[in-house]
Structure 1
C-alpha cells in the first residue's frame, strides 16, 4: 500500500471506523466484505502508515455541561517567530480551546474554537486568560447559536 493510495477496502474500512470506532472486528468485516483477520491486518497497516492518527471517544459537550461554543479570531500585535511560538505554547495549555488554526485572508492571525460552561465562563476565559497572553492585541468572538453540521469524518471517495 503506497502512501496516499488507498484501495476500495481501505476506504470502506476507514469510512466505517470514522462513523463508529467501537464496531467489533466481525461487524467491520461484514461492512467491508473482508474477514476479521484481514480487517485487523489492514487496520494495523493503516495505523503504521499514518492514515489513522488516533482513536478517541467523542463526547456530547452539552451532556458534560459545556453549553457555549464560540469561534474567536485572535490578532497578535507583532508577527515574529518568538511571538507566534509564545502564543502557540500558551494556547496548547488552555483546555477550553478545542481547535486553533493559523489563518490568512481575515482580520486575525488565528481562529479558535472554544467551549465553555456558560457565557460567564466564556467571558472569564476571554478576558482573564486569552487576552492576557503576551502579544495578543485583539480578539473577536462569534457565539455559535446552533450547529447545522458538525462532523469529524473526512470525505473519503471510493
Structure 2
C-alpha cells in the first residue's frame, strides 16, 4: 500500500469488524451491532459515529431486488467521446447524473472508450429508447458499445477490508 492509499484514520480490528457487520446488514440496531463485535452499546456507538465523521461510512442504503421490481435488463455501455476536454467530460457527467437508469458511471482507460455505464431498465424496448433519446443525444458522444448482463455471478457492495491494518 502506497503512502497516498493509506486510510486517513487508523482502523483497528474492532472498527474493521464493525464495518464488516454493517456492510452485511446496515439495519442492525446499535445493541445488535455491539453484541456482534463484543462491545457495550456506548463505545460501539462512539466508534460508528467516529467512522461516519471521518467519512469512512458514507451512507446507509437499502438494496432492492431489481427483477421483482420489473427491472430485468442490465446493460454495460462503453462510451467514446469526440474530444477529451474538461468541459466535454463535465457536460457528459452532469447529463448522465440526471438519468435514474444509470447505476454506475466510470471514467476509464485501457479500452476504446472513455466511460463505462451500468444501466438498469425493464426491457430492450426501454433500453432502445434510453440509448437513442438520452445517451446518443449528449453532446460529444461519438461511439457507443452495449453489452447485456446474462447472469449476475458476483453482485456485492461490500469492500474487502482485509487489506486494512
TM above 0.5, yes or no, is yes
Aligned length: 157
> Which deviations, in whole Å up to 9, do the C-alpha atoms of 1:8-59 show, x marking residues without a partner?
0000000000000111111111110101111111111000011001111111
Is 1:116 aligned with 2:121? yes
Structure 2 unmatched runs, 5+: 1-6
Q: Scaled by the length of structure 2, what TM-score is found?
A: 0.92
Between the aligned partners of 1:110 and 1:76, the Cα distance in structure 2 is 8
Is 1:19 aligned with 2:24? yes
- SS of corresponding position for 1:98: strand
Structure 1 unmatched runs, 5+: none
Contact 2:30/2:44 (8 A) holds in 1: yes
Aligned to 2:3: none
Between the aligned partners of 2:134 and 2:96, the Cα distance in structure 1 is 10
Q: Which runs of 4+ in 1 moved over 6 A?
A: none
Is 1:36 aligned with 2:46? no
Between the aligned partners of 1:9 and 1:71, the Cα distance in structure 2 is 37
RMSD: 1.1
Contact 2:21/2:33 (8 A) holds in 1: yes
Q: Scaled by the length of structure 1, what TM-score is found?
A: 0.96
Aligned to 1:134: 139
- SS of corresponding position for 1:131: helix
